[in-house]
């Protein structure tokens, strides 16, 4: 039977501790980006937040309106255990494809690569729907991964450009210069603005 990358799949990965994507800290390209933002009132969504290191970093840095979303509670438990003062109502258990809301900023950190490649266009549509006009989708995307069976699934810069061009014309995907060492040379920094 074909494997489905559903809530059960991800929950099992967390309960069995099979989480090689978890770097144990917020990703440096994202912390660097957040450090450069002035407006700490932005409504921020982190879909596929996992154990929520970026959400914790953002909240501690004064971004009070940061929402961490994941398909499974098993992932977000990590955030509540490490940082119990993170607002409970900003922990969203659910499917980003079904989520309703509007955000100024969406942070991408290993969600797109966790989806079946067939769901990539759906992801782009969901990000577009969840952003305010002028809102931004930023974060890191893999253009190479060690395991071609996935997840994670990588795509080339050209594939990402093709995928985003209709809803996010002008989206950029540049080689990341501040990746963590094990990911150096394999990450692209995405910046896509909703018109
Ligand atoms: C590879 S993990 C990355 C987790 C986290 N961003 C990190 O870097 O540690 C992918 C995460 O996306 C979540 N996920 C997968 N599909 C999702 C969906 N449709 N909506 C919300 N979360 C999803 C999974 O439960 C998992 O926690």
Please tell me the pTM assigned to this model.
0.97
Whether 28 is covered by a domain: the verdict is yes
Domain CATH number, residue 117: 3.40.50.150
pLDDT given for residue 101 in this prediction = 97
Closest Cα to atom 27 of ligand 1: 50
163 in any annotated domain: yes
pLDDT of residue 74: 96
pLDDT at res. 177:
95
- Candidates 59, 70, 61, 132; CA nearest to 95 is 70
**Best mutation site among 111, 150, 179 for ligand 1, i.e. most ligand atoms within 8 A of its Cβ?**
111
What residue's CA is closest to ligand 1, atom 5?
50
In a domain, 61, yes or no: yes
Q: What angle do CA 134, 28, 66 make, to 5 degrees?
A: 45
CA angle (145, 151, 152) in 5-degree steps: 30
Residues with CB under 6 A from ligand 1: 10, 21-22, 47-51, 69-72, 75, 95-97, 109-111, 114
Ligand 1 atom, smallest distance to 70 CA: 22
The structural domain count of the chain equals 1
Domain that holds residue 46: 7-193
70, 95, 149 from 6: Cα distances, Å? 11, 9, 17
Question: Does residue 179 sit within a domain?
Answer: yes
- Residue 83 in any domain: the answer is yes
Residue 2 located in a structural domain:
no
Answer whether residue 164 is part of any domain. yes
- Count Cβ atoms within 10 A of the Cβ of residue 84 and give its class: 0-12 exposed, 13-18 middle, 19 or more buried: exposed
Beta bridge partners of 172: 191
Q: How far is the CA of 187 from the centre of ligand 1 (A)?
A: 17
Domain for residue 172, yes or no?
yes
User: From CA 187, how far away is CA 145, in angstroms rounded?
Assistant: 9
Atom 4 (ligand 1) nearest CA: 50
Look at residue 150 in the predicted model and tell me its pLDDT: 85
pLDDT in tens, the chain (195 residues): 567 999 999 999 999 999 999 999 999 999 999 999 999 999 999 999 999 999 999 999 999 999 999 999 999 999 999 999 999 999 999 999 999 999 999 999 999 999 999 999 999 999 999 999 999 999 999 999 877 788 999 999 999 999 999 999 999 999 999 999 999 999 999 999 999
Identify the residue whose C-alpha is closest to ligand 1 atom 6: 49
Q: Give the pLDDT confidence of 120-150 residue by residue, as tens digits.
A: 999 999 999 999 999 999 999 999 987 778 8
CA of 158 to the centre of ligand 1 (A): 24
Coil/strand/helix, residue 130: helix
- Whole-angstrom distance, CA of residue 98 vs CA of residue 129: 11
Q: Of 170, 166, 106, 163, which Cα lies nearest the Cα of 140? A: 106
CA atoms within 13 A on the CB side of 163: 24
């Amino acid at each position: 039977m074909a494997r489905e990358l559903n809530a059960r799949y991800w929950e099992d990965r967390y309960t069995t501790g099979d989480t090689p994507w978890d770097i144990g800290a917020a990703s440096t390209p994202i912390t660097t980006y957040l450090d450069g933002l002035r407006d700490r009132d932005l409504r921020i969504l982190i879909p596929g937040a996992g154990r929520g290191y970026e959400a914790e970093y953002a909240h501690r840095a004064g971004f009070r309106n940061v929402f961490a979303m994941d398909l499974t509670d098993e992932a977000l438990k990590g955030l509540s255990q490490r940082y119990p003062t993170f607002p409970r109502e900003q922990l969203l258990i659910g499917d980003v494809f079904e989520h309703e809301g509007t955000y100024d900023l969406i942070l991408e950190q290993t969600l797109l690569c966790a989806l079946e490649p067939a769901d990539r266009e759906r992801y782009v549509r969901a990000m577009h729907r969840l952003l305010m006009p002028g809102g931004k989708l930023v974060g890191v995307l893999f253009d190479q991964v060690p395991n071609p069976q996935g997840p994670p699934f990588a795509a080339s810069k050209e594939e990402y450009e093709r995928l985003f061009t209709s809803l996010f014309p002008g989206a950029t995907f540049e080689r990341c210069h501040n990746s963590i060492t094990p990911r150096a040379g394999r990450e692209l920094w995405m910046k896509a603005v909703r018109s």
